[in-house]
Amino acid sequence: MLTDPFGRTVDYLRISVTDRCDLRCTYCLPKGFKGFAVPKDWLTLEETARIAAAFARLGTKRFRLTGGEPLLRKGLADLAAEINRQPGVEDISLTTNGTQLGRYARTLRQAGVRRLNISLDSLRGDCVKSITGTDCLPQVLEGIKTAKQAGFERIKINMVPLKGVNDTDLDDMAAFCIENGFILNLIEAMPMGATGQAHAKVNLQPVLAQLQQKFNLKPFEGRIGGGPARYWQSGSGDFILGLITPMSRHFCATCNRVRLSATGNLHLCLGQENKVPLRPLLRGGCSDAELEQAVCDAVRQKPEKHEFVENPQKIIRVMALTGG
């Protein structure tokens, strides 16, 4: 097993397959941003699969495919199937904005992707357009419908509440999730790059108190996924709420994940600059043993915690370049 300097077991790898996205969410990508990597600098899917296999041999059980928008990368289902074939892998999930799910949901499910997180910040078309820069709500809702029909084990709706933008939409989003049997994940916006730093943040602790009263929420007994969310369930059992609170109540003490960027950088913490480039090693002809050693050495550099609250201006890279 991979263990960092603070005794935390790293058993979860988030893999970005592209930094490109077909949306321009205001908390993720700066308006007019053109600083994407050129495709020749991306890891090939074969290189990505090789890194995933090394992690699996070292005890990593959970893998998430992300971007950018991962469904823009051709061959994604083949990558998922290859990771799924690795001994010891228990879970493959995907984070997506939903625009391409109508085309790929069934193929992904057949490839072994078990769970989906779908980003959707409002059910109001004008609000979605103001956040994403695109009139994409009908396309996303159709993708969600197709994904539900494809039979994923669990679908979570990721919503980033933004003050004065969509923070009044929480009841509607909860009703949508109850109707469809989805989990609602609320995520605090992080100061990642200029866009993340510009937004007025919503503290989810008062939001939780309001929703607890409205839905009679109690802490959820059991495990849902391998990420940082804490969960509550309604008294009737028909609504599960997840909260990811890096700002108001960080979860660094139990962090079990690292991120692989599309260009092969292993990011060890969202809120620190610590990273290890694996692409030069791969393209230099390293052996599997050398790759595994590089991964072990990298995890030993994992910092204790982020500094989003103490030093919000520290991280200048945008989220799409880091990997979701």
Residue ranges of the annotated binding site for [4Fe-4S] cluster are 21, 25, 28, 252, 255, 269
Encode burial over 195-210: b for 16+ CB neighbours within 10 A, e otherwise.
bbbebebbebeebbee
Let me know the angle formed at the C-alpha of 147 by 143 and 152, rounded to the nearest 5 degrees.
160
Let me know the angle formed at the C-alpha of 147 by 109 and 39, rounded to the nearest 5 degrees.
70
Known binding-site residue numbers for S-adenosyl-L-methionine: 27, 68, 119, 190
Known binding-site residue numbers for GTP: 14, 64, 95, 156, 257-259
- Other CB atoms within a 10 A radius of the CB of residue 42 amount to 22
Let me know the angle formed at the C-alpha of 272 by 283 and 262, rounded to the nearest 5 degrees.
30
Known binding-site residue numbers: 14, 21, 25, 27-28, 64, 68, 95, 119, 156, 190, 252, 255, 257-259, 269
The whole-angstrom separation of Cα 92 and Cα 162 is 29
Tokens 């003490």 belong to 253
Contact 70, 95 (CB under 8 A): yes
* Residue 292, C-beta contacts closer than 8 angstroms, at least 6 positions apart: 54, 57, 58
Q: Where are the alpha helices (DSSP H) in the chain?
A: 45-57, 76-84, 101-111, 125-132, 137-150, 170-180, 193-198, 204-215, 279-283, 288-299, 319-322
Residue (of 66, 65, 139, 75) closest to 102 by Cα position: 139
